[in-house]
Structure 1
Amino acid sequence: MITVALVLLVAVLVGAILQRITGMGLGLVAGPVLSVALGPAAGVTVVNGLSVVNAANNAWAVRARTDWHRFRFLIGGLVVGSVPAAFVVTAIDGPWLLVTVGLLVMAALGVSMLNTEKLRVSEESRTAMIVTGVAGGFMSTLVGIAAPAFTIYARITRWDYRDFVATLHPVILVANLLSFVVKLIVLTHIDTGDLPVWIWVVALVTIFVGAWFGDRLNDRMSSEGMRRLATLLAFAGAATLLIQGIVQLVS
C-alpha cells in the first residue's frame, strides 16, 4: 500500500501543477497511472474524486475569466455523454478495460494534437458546444479524462487560451461530480480500490501543494511547453495501460 500511496501522490502532484497552468493534467497524468496501480475501474473513480477538489480550487481562483454562456451548453452535453459511458464500464472489465482505456486516451490525445488551422467553427455554435460536452462527458465517466475533447473545441473555435482554461476548470468540476453520481446510480456503489483514509487526506493536501507550485511556475514557464509535457506523460501512462492489458490477455 505504501508503494501505491507514493505512486498516487507523485502523479497527483505533477497533475495538479500541470492542470493549474494548462487546464489539463490531473486526469491525463494520474488517470493512466492509477488505473494500473488500483485497477481500471477504481483508478478512474479515484481520479474523478480528486479532480472534483482540484477543479473546485482552480475554478474559484480564475472565476472572473470564466465564460458562463459556453459553460452552460458544454455542461448540457456532459450530462448526455456520461450516461452511456457508465453502462460501458459495467460491460467491460479487467484486461479489456485496461486496453480500452489506453487506446481511448491515446486516441483522444492524438486528435487533440491535429493541425486544426483549416478547421473553423463559430464561437457561437451551440451544436459544437453540445457535441463537445457529450464527448467530454463520455470520456470523463469512462476513463476519468475530459480535457482533450474541450481542447479540440478551443483550438477550432480560436478560443482565447486563458479564457478557455478559466472555463475548463468548472466544466471539469461538474464532469467529475457527474461521473460519481452516474456511477453510483448505475453501479449502486463506488469502487475506490479500498484506499485508506490517510491516503485520501494526503492526496487532497498534495492537490493544494501542486496548485501552489503551479501558480509559481505559471509566470516562468511556457504554457505550451507544459501542455506538451503533460501530453508526453499521458501518452506514456496510456501506453503502460495498453501493455498491461495485453500482457494480462495473453497470459
Structure 2
Amino acid sequence: MFAVILLVAFLGLLLQRVSGTGFALVMVPVYTLFLGPVEGVLVSNILNGLGCLLLMLAVRKDLQWKRVLVLSGAAVLGMYPGIWLVKYLSPALLQLTIGLIMLVALAISLGFKVDKPHKDGLVPLLLSGLGGGFLVTTAGIPAPAMVIYARYVNWDFSPV
C-alpha cells in the first residue's frame, strides 16, 4: 500500500508541476479508496501541503503575497463548515458527499466561462478562499475554487 501512495503522490506532483493544478485530483480518489475518506483526505492534504511548500520556495520571488494572505485567511474560515461535515457525517455518507462535491465543483469549474474578465477585487478573492478551504477540508481538492477565480479575473497562475 505504501508503494501505491508514493506512486500516486509522484504522479500528482508531476501533474501539478506541468499544469499548475491537479495534485489532489490524482491523489484523493485513490487515497480515499485505500485509506478511507477521512484518512485519505488527511494524507492528501499533508502531501499536497509539502508539495506546495516546495513549489512556493522555488517561486517565492514571483508570489503575489497579498493574494496569498487573503486566500489563506479566507481558506481557514472556509475550513470550519468542512470540519463540521467531516466530524458529523458517517464514513459512507462522507465518501458519497466528497464524490458529489467534487463532481459539482469540477463541473462548475470546467463549464465556467467568462467572455470578458472581471476586475479583480476583494470579494471574489474571499469567496475563492472560502470555497477552497471548504473543498480542501471535505474533499482535499481546492482546485475548482481556484480555477473559477482565475478564470473570473483572468489570473494566470501557471507554474514558473
TM-score by length of 2: 0.93
2:104 is aligned with 1:118: no
2:149 maps to 1:153: yes
What displacement does 1:74 show? 1.1
Quick check: 1:57 aligned with 2:54?
A: yes
**Which range moved further: 67-76 or 149-158?**
67-76
Is the radius of gyration larger for structure 1 or structure 2?
Answer: 1
Amino acid at match of 2:79: S
2:24 corresponds, among 19, 24, 27, to 27
CA distance in 1, matches of 2:144, 2:62: 20
Q: Structure 2: which amino acid aligns with 1:138? A: F
Contact 1:17–1:25 at 8 Å: present in 2 too? no
Q: When the two structures are aligned, how many residues end up with a matched partner?
A: 160
Q: How does 1:59-138 map to 2 (within 5 A)?
A: 59-118=56-115, 120-123=117-120, 125-138=121-134
Q: Distance in 1 between matches of 2:2 and 2:116?
A: 43
CA contact (8 A) 1:85 1:138 kept: yes
The whole-number CA distance in structure 2 between the counterparts of 1:103 and 1:97 is 10
The match for 1:13 is 10
- Report the secondary structure of 1:113's partner residue: helix
5+ residue gaps, structure 2: none
Q: Distance in 2 between matches of 1:54 and 1:144?
A: 14
The percentage of counterpart residues that share the same residue type is 34
- Contact kept in structure 2, 1:136 and 1:150, CA below 8 Å: yes
Question: What letter matches 1:58 in structure 2?
Answer: L
Backbone CA RMSD of aligned residues: 1.5
Q: Letter of the 2:98 partner, please give it.
A: V
Distance (Å, rounded) in 1 between the aligned partners of 2:36 and 2:19: 27
Q: Structure 1 residues 131 and 119 mapped into 2: Cα distance closer, same or farther (>3 Å)?
A: farther
Per the TM alignment, residue 119 of structure 1 is displaced from its structure 2 partner at its CA by: 5.8
Matches within 5 A, 1:187-226: none
Q: Which whole-Å deviations, capped at 9, do the CAs of 1:3-50 have from their partners, x for residues lacking one? A: x22321221111010111222122111011100100000100111111
In the superposition, relative to structure 1, how do residues 90 and 129 fare at CA in structure 2: closer, same or farther (>3 Å)? same
Q: Partner of 2:139 in structure 1?
A: 143
Structure 1: unaligned runs, 5 residues or longer:
167-251
Q: Distance in 1 between matches of 2:97 and 2:71?
A: 25
> Following TM superposition, where does structure 1 have runs of at least 4 consecutive aligned residues deviating by more than 6 angstroms?
none
Write the deviation string for residues 64-84 of structure 1: whole angstroms up to 9, x where unpaired: 221112112211211110112
